[in-house]
Amino acid sequence: MTTTFPAPASASGPVGTPAAAEQVRGGRAWRGFGLLGPRRGRHELAAEQLELLGLPVGDDGVVIGTDAQGTPAVLGLFRPTPFDVVLVGGAWTAQVLALRTVGMGARVAVESGRQPLWTPLVQGANTGQQSITLHAVGRVPPQGPSVHSPVLVIRDCGVRPPHGRVTVAPWQAVVTLLPYPGPTTERLMTHADVVGVQRVSPDEARQIGRTMNLTPADVEALPGLPDGVTLWCTRSSRTYVTTQPTDPEAGLLGTARRMD
């Protein structure tokens, strides 16, 4: 496809005509565009040919599993705007997310009151450089995120997490891990950009359903979700994603599980 710029007001003919070429021979360049380049055929498609183009759009991010059609499901964590995620589920899924985030070249900071649960992951992932750092609750230092060094902060601070010192920022996403819904869950979900929900009780499913505007079928399905399956949703869209560990992930973290 071709993007065509309008001719300048002083031109007496369209691009490529003798009048336009005369402007160049006279030493005058197009303001803002420089001298005219070589005259070659345009890269154009007819309207009926557009569907033949297969352009990847919106597929940059962390692969968190596969959807119901077996298509890779991608969570675009790193953006020039803040991105906030709430995950009601097990630490296993958050740990897989941490490993895959490191695999795409980003840094991970874990804030947790369950440090023994995260220590093996940190030790196994940090081979040669500090890709994942582990911090006590309220002790996460500023991470200095940038487009060249994005950061994921995982907050594993219980069902009632305190306000964090490090929050969402451009190129710094925050995942708040909740083992089950609590008194602050509705507020956290309301302000989140995307919410992940794993297996919960029927009462918890109804609570989440009201907050996230889930359908009755989704509310009914939540208590029976298998290990490794997460409903990722906003208030207007949703998809079920199955996370299967790779061999290295399984060797470090074991098989998928909802409870830790």
Alpha-helical (H) ranges within the chain are 18-25, 91-103, 115-125, 185-191, 202-212, 216-221, 247-253
Residue 244, CA distances (Å) to 14, 71, 182, 238 in order:
57, 13, 28, 19
Tens of pLDDT along 144-202? Answer: 999 999 999 999 999 999 988 899 999 999 999 999 999 999 999 999 999 999 999 99
CB 212 within 8 A of CB 195: yes
> Dihedral of CA 215/220/223/226: which sign?
negative
- The DSSP bridge partners found for residue 177 are 87
Look at the pTM and tell me if it is higher than 0.85. Answer: no
CB 147 within 8 A of CB 171: yes
What CATH number is given for 62-253 in this structure? Answer: 3.40.50.300
- Does residue 251 carry a pLDDT above 70? yes
For the chain, the domains span 18-44, 62-253
Tens of pLDDT along 16-56? Answer: 444 444 444 444 544 544 455 555 555 566 666 655 554 33
What pLDDT, on a 0 to 100 scale, did the predictor assign at position 44? Answer: 62
Tens of pLDDT along 205-239? Answer: 999 999 999 999 999 999 999 999 999 999 999 99
